[in-house]
Amino acid sequence: MLMDADECQLVLVDYQTRLMPVMHDSAAVLANAVRLARMAQLMQVPIWATAQNPDKLGPQAPELQAALQEAGARELSKMHFSAVSDELAHALRPPVRKSSGGNARSLPRHLQKNAEPEEGRSAVVIAGCEAHICLMQTALELLQEEFEVWVVTDACSSRTERNRDAAFDRLAGAGAELVSTEMVAFEWLRTASHPAFKAVQALVK
Q: What CATH number has the domain bearing residue 62?
A: 3.40.50.850
What are the CA-CA distances from residue 54 to residues 63, 76, 90, 157, 166 (Å)?
17, 10, 21, 19, 26
How many domains does the chain divide into? Answer: 1
Please give the residue that has the higher pLDDT: either 96 or 90.
90
Amino acid at position 37, single letter: A
Q: What was the pLDDT predicted at 164?
A: 97
* 102 in a structural domain: no
39-85: pLDDT as tens digits: 999 999 999 999 999 999 999 999 999 999 999 999 999 999 999 99
For the ranges 47-61, 82-96, 104-118, the lowest mean pLDDT is seen at 104-118
Q: What was the pLDDT predicted at 100?
A: 47
Average pLDDT on 20-38 reads 97
**Residues 6 or more apart from 40 whose CB is under 8 A from it?**
10, 46, 47, 71
Residue 26 has pLDDT above 70, yes or no: yes
* 94 in a structural domain: no
* 86 in a structural domain: no
Q: What pLDDT band is residue 205 in, cutting at 50, 70 and 90?
A: confident
* 142 in a structural domain: no
Average pLDDT value for the chain: 90
Average pLDDT on 183-205 reads 95
* 83 in a structural domain: no
Q: What was the pLDDT predicted at 64?
A: 97
For the chain, how far is it from start to end, CA to CA, in angstroms?
25
**DSSP track, 87-141:** THHHHHSPPEEPP-SS--TTS-GGGSPPPEEPP---EEEEEEBSIIIIIHHHHHH
* 44 in a structural domain: yes
Average pLDDT on 168-183 reads 97
The range of the structural domain enclosing residue 198 comes to: 1-77+147-205
Q: What was the pLDDT predicted at 195?
A: 95
Q: What was the pLDDT predicted at 95?
A: 52
